[in-house]
């Protein structure tokens, strides 16, 4: 026999499925973070995180206007990007508007910065003009596999120690 509560469950089934899917996604996302894996984020987000890191190495506090000036982007574009980075847990913004990287954001920023620095130096050493090397490194740093980067890193360290 059908009970009155059966209708309530059926009427709410789409919402129950939506909540279930959200919880599953959240658990997978948290598990991925706990295992120390970098979540794939867009290249533009990686560039913003790297820029925040670079600015923080030069000065005590980072504000949105510093990022606007560094990247020569519009204030609204940077504002939207900072909101997205904050909502995704890559940055924190205090009441004064100072931006700091979270552990996850710092890990991504440091990875991209290391890649950029090493690839720029490597390409320059190969004879590429510094400006072209920096631009190429900026494109390569986002798509190179960890394995390939580590091989280049090892090669450059070996060639430096041989000199």
pLDDT tens for residues 63-119?
A: 999 999 999 999 999 999 999 999 999 999 999 999 999 999 999 999 999 999 999
Classify domain 43-102 at the CATH class level: mainly alpha
**Of 90, 136, 146, which is closest to residue 116 (Cα–Cα)?**
136
Confidence (pTM): 0.70
What residue spans define the domains of the chain? 4-34, 43-102, 108-162
* pLDDT per residue as tens digits for the range 2-28: 555 545 555 665 666 666 556 655 665
List pLDDT tens digits, range 112-163: 999 999 999 999 988 999 999 999 998 899 888 889 899 989 988 876 555 5
3-state secondary structure of 100: strand
Q: Which CATH architecture has domain 108-162?
A: Orthogonal Bundle (1.10)
Contacts by 95-103 with C-beta closer than 8 Å and gap 24+?
96/61, 97/63, 97/64, 98/61, 98/62, 98/63, 99/52, 99/62, 99/63, 99/64, 99/67, 100/56, 100/62, 101/49, 101/52, 101/53, 101/56
Per-residue pLDDT reduced to its tens digit, 31-69: 555 444 444 568 889 999 999 999 999 999 999 999 999
């Amino acid at each position: 026999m059908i009970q009155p509560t059966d209708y309530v469950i059926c009427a709410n089934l789409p919402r129950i499925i939506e909540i279930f899917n959200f919880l599953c996604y959240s658990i997978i996302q948290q598990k991925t973070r706990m295992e120390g894996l970098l979540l794939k984020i867009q290249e533009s987000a990686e560039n913003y995180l790297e820029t925040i890191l670079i600015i923080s190495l030069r000065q005590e506090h980072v504000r949105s206007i510093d990022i606007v000036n560094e990247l020569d982007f519009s204030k609204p574009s940077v504002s939207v990007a900072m909101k997205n980075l904050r909502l995704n847990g890559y940055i924190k913004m205090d009441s004064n508007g100072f931006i700091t990287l979270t552990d996850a954001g710092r890990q991504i920023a440091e990875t991209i910065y290391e890649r950029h620095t090493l690839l720029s130096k490597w390409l320059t050493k190969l004879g590429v003009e510094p400006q072209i090397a920096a631009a190429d490194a900026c494109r390569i740093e986002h798509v190179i596999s960890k394995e390939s980067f580590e091989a280049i890193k090892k090669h450059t360290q070996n060639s430096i120690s041989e000199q």
